[in-house]
Structure formats: C-alpha cells, structure tokens
Amino acid sequence: MVNIEDYIPLVGQSVIDDLRLLGERLKGKVIQHINSTPMGGGVAEILNRMVPLLKDLGVDTKWDVIKGGESFFDVTKKFHNVLHGRSGEVTKNDFDIFLETSEENIKNLDTYGDIVFIHDPQPIALVKKRSNNKWLWRCHIDVSNPNEKVWDFLLDFIIKYDSAVFSAPSFSRKLPIRQFLIPPSIDPLSDKNKELPQEMIDSVLRKNNIKKDKPIITQISRFDRLKDPVGVVEAYKQVKRYINCQLILAGGTAEDDPEGFKVLSEVKESANNDPDIHILLLPHDDIAVNALQRASDVVVQKSLKEGFGLTVAEALWKAKPVVASNVGGIPLQIKHKYSGLLCHSVEGASFAIKQLLTSPEYAKKLGENGREHIRNNFLITRHLRDYMLLFLSLYHAEDIVYL
C-alpha cells in the first residue's frame, strides 16, 4: 500500500508539507466521490489511487458507485461517443432509459457528503437530490465539439452544480457556474510508471520477440480510429525509407467494442506483414506497457481526438522524446520544440520522428524537459493539491483566498 510519504523522493518534502497544510483546512468535511464503476477505465483507476492518498492526508474521503443495467450503460456509452464528437443517433428512448435508471439511483444512493463529487455523465442526474451540501461535476471527456442534443440534455443538470471541472481549456464553454481546469495526472509509483530494472525491460522485449537491433518507435493506445494507428503505420513507412527502424503498436481492445477488432484488422492490413512492425495486444498489462515505453527511442501519440492523452505524460515521465498530435490535452503536456514535438498530419509526424532519430542530443533534451514538466505539473501530487483547492474554493468566491 502506497502512502503519501513515498512520494517525497520524487517531488520533495515541501510539496508534501503543502498537501498536509491543505488537508488540515478540510478537517471535518466529508468528500463523497461518485462514479459508475469501481474498476476498469481511467476514472476508477485514478480514484483507486487518490482516495487512499486523500485519506492519508486527513481528508475524510468516501467513494460510492451508482447502479445501472446493460441498457443504461449502452446509452451512457453512446453519450460518451457523441460527446467526443463522433456521429451517432441518440433517441428519446435513450434519454428515457438514462432518466429511469437515474431515478432509481436518486432513490437508493445516499448523498451524505458535505461535498458530493460526481464523475462524468453517468451519475450526473443525482444532483436533483442536492440539499445544503456542495456539488461538483467532473467531466473527464473531451467536450470541445459535443453532440448538441446530448450536451443540452446534460446542461440542465450541470447548471445545478456549484462548479464544474474540465481537463483542458478547449473543453470549456460559457457556463453560469464556476468552472475549473484540472488536468488528470499519472502516478509515478504505479506499475505503469515506476522505475523498472533493465532485465525486466529486456524480458518484456524478448517475450514479444522484439530485438533491440534498430531504433524503436512506439505508440501505446487501444485500437481505436481516434488514435489513428493506421496513420502511425504510414508515418513509420515514411521514416523507414531513410532510417532502419521498427514500430511497436501496443494496446488493448475492449471486449465490448466490436469496432476495436475491425481497426486492429485494418492496422494489420496496413502493416502488410512487415517483420519490423510489432502489433501487440496487451490488455491490462501495465508492467509491459511501462517496459515498452522505456525501451523506445521515440514515443508517438498520433491521436485525431484525445481526452487528455495520459500516455504522453507517461512517456515524458520516462524522459522519452515524444511526437504527438496537437489535440485535446496534448498541447498542455508538450510545448512544441521545448518538451516534445507536436504534429498535425502523417507527414508532420514522420518528419518529427526522423528529426528525433537523427538528432539524439536534441531528442534527449526534449525528453529531459518533458520529464521536468511532468514532475511539476502532471503527477498525482499536483492532482491531489488541485482537488483539495477545488474543495476549498466551494467556500470562497474571491480570487485571492487567505486560508
């Protein structure tokens, strides 16, 4: 079990001291997180790490989960997709299913927290139950170009909250409530990010039949069109004309995502049996992901759309030079030419990869800058601090707050 003191070697004693000061200011308040699942997915992953750490800081933190049947989660998945800007039809029946399950949860779930912290759209309607306590809505998805019908439906609930929280400035829009920018974070002590001995990295490579005889370019992400794995293969092919390199595309496909398998077969087709393209299915193998990132010479994240793109933070934390698309939360993590290279196209990605492979000193500098940027801004300790400040902001309306 990790505790807050374990982060001192990574961020320094004074950062932890500040967190403790904030924890003291929240004494007596109960924070109740509510989301839709205790396991699986980014929200549950971060809550699993954060809840114990908040408790360790003296903040009385609870976590509850709503209930819902298959049809409810089919609808919320549809919401998720169209909020992300994908096409799809959301019908009146879908809204009815959502409201029906929401009513069940309103009836059965006790919202006892002094601060009720709702994550994502699934439990959003619980706010109908608000009494004198404070309510926060945390939006983890990219809503920069949402389906307006679904957004308007959600807006009726959002405006009943005290504040909303988004991961990137481009996700915000004019709202009648306060809204805060809190990017997500990575946990440097998790299996995905902790230091690994070289033997372990080598053994993961061996297990996947990857030799270290040529530079490795890697993209870690599920096989989803929005991650543009076919575009990565194209970029690799353009690089390969000049530099003998290899490509790793590693990620999972969700069991319930038929499109994932389709995308995977498109990627295989595009790879055309090139022995230097390694397509790996690694669902829930965090150590393997960590090892592959550490073994890479360049890490790529060529997404067409991105919530935040934590794989970028993961790679930068490992001081890797990164080439990534200028979308979603990625430009918060990479300042072009300072802590990585941003691109807008296959050609741009391949040019940037070539540049990094042929200028290892430059690549190294970008990676080092990237690591420091992540240390200062995207580790879980910063996330804990922001959440505690967010809780305190509910009791102070001014821009300069003396605590």
Partner 1 sequence: MPTIKRASEPFRFCTRLHLSELTGLRASTLGQFLALIKEVPGSCIYHHTHRFLQQHQFLSPEPPNDFAYWVTDVLGEDELGEKLASIDTMQFSTIRSLREKIAQTIEKYLDESAFAKLKFARLGEEFYFIKSVSFVLPTSYVAYDLSEFVNVLKKITMDSIYFHFFEARLRLEKPTNDFSLWIGSSLHDKELADNISNFDPYTRTLEDLRETIIEIIEERISE
Q: Which residues bind partner 1 (CB under 8 A)?
A: 12-15, 17-18, 21-22, 25, 144, 166, 169-170, 172-175, 178-182, 326-327, 335-336, 338, 369, 372-373, 376-377, 385-386, 389-390, 392-393, 399-403
Query: What DSSP line would sit under 167-207, residue for residue?
Result: SSGGG----SSEEEE----B-TTSTTTS---HHHHHHHHHH
Q: Where are the alpha helices (DSSP H) in 62-161?
A: 70-83, 92-108, 148-158
Nearest Cα neighbor of 49 from 384, 389, 296, 366 is 384
Nearer to partner 1, 126 or 168 (CB): 168
Cα–Cα distance for residue pair 84/64, rounded to 1 Å: 26
List C-alpha distances in Å: 75 to 84, 97, 183, 306, 355. Answer: 14, 7, 26, 21, 44
Let me know: does 349 contact 300? Beta carbons within 8 Å.
yes
- Which residues does residue 117 pair with via DSSP β-bridges, in sequence order? 33, 136
Nearer to partner 1, 103 or 156 (CB): 156
Nearest distance in Å: CB 338, partner 1: 6
Nearest distance in Å: CB 205, partner 1: 31
Nearest distance in Å: CB 331, partner 1: 8
Nearest distance in Å: CB 323, partner 1: 17
Nearest distance in Å: CB 166, partner 1: 6
Nearest distance in Å: CB 313, partner 1: 14
- What is the DSSP secondary structure assignment for residue 351, as one 8-state letter? H
Nearest distance in Å: CB 342, partner 1: 10
Residue 355 CA from chain centroid, whole number: 27
Tokens of 9: 């070697």
Nearer to partner 1, 13 or 93 (CB): 13
Nearer to partner 1, 25 or 129 (CB): 25
Nearer to partner 1, 243 or 403 (CB): 403
Residue 33 CA from chain centroid, whole number: 18
Nearest distance in Å: CB 228, partner 1: 16
Cα angle value 191/197/198 (rounded, 5°): 125
Nearer to partner 1, 268 or 385 (CB): 385
Cα–Cα distance for residue pair 348/228, rounded to 1 Å: 14
Contacts of 357 (CB under 8 A, 6+ apart): 215, 239, 243, 245, 297, 298, 363
Nearer to partner 1, 90 or 390 (CB): 390
Tokens of 202: 């080598």
Nearer to partner 1, 263 or 390 (CB): 390
Nearer to partner 1, 243 or 401 (CB): 401
**Other Cβ atoms within 10 Å of 331 Cβ, number:** 19
Cα–Cα distance for residue pair 295/217, rounded to 1 Å: 9
Ramachandran region, residue 88 (left: φ > 0; alpha: ψ -120 to 50; beta: rest):
left
E-strand ranges in 185-297 read: 216-220, 246-251, 277-281
Nearest distance in Å: CB 173, partner 1: 5
